[in-house]
Amino acid sequence: MEIVIPMTAAVTTALIAGLFFTSSVSIIPGLAELSDSEYIRPMQSINRAIQNVPFLLCFLGGAVLLPASAYLWYDNSGDTMFLLLIGASGFYLIGALGITVFGNIPLNNDMDSFDLNTPSDQEMANWRAAFTGRWNRYHHLRTAASLVAFALVLLSCVVVEI
């Protein structure tokens, strides 16, 4: 029964890591092929669509369940399990949650308020150039952090079985 919370943390972390990874390797390169006006509209749509309960349960689930797992295993399995879970918590809280909250979300809010009906082609190109590099950089960092967090929590679940 003690492994249920770390296993649930592993599942929620895996789902977020998979979502971020999929975006990094398919959605971002696919959108890069679009013109400026074609790029902004689907990004706005994706930004609005992802704000849903299943996403939030998984995204915030990792943020709660990883530290809870570390706390629960502090005295139960020795240093290895605890350290793996603390590492997973750190990567997730700082790298996935922190970068999202302080990096991607402010950019998403700017993007969401961008009116596609009024700018000139040059204004749209300037806005996209200013947005895309920063947003993608933050996204790739949170992808890497969530993948590391998943690997660590998965390893912790294996360690407890050894």
| pLDDT given for residue 118 in this prediction | 87
Whether the CB-CB separation of 65 and 9 falls below 8 Å is answered with yes
Sorted by where each begins, the domain ranges of the chain are 4-161
Mean pLDDT of 114-140: 93
pTM for this prediction: 0.91
CA distance 8 to 62: 8
Average pLDDT, the chain: 92
Q: Could you read off the pLDDT of 40-97 as tens digits, one per residue?
A: 999 999 999 999 999 999 999 999 999 999 998 887 656 888 999 999 999 999 999 9
CA distance 50 to 72: 31
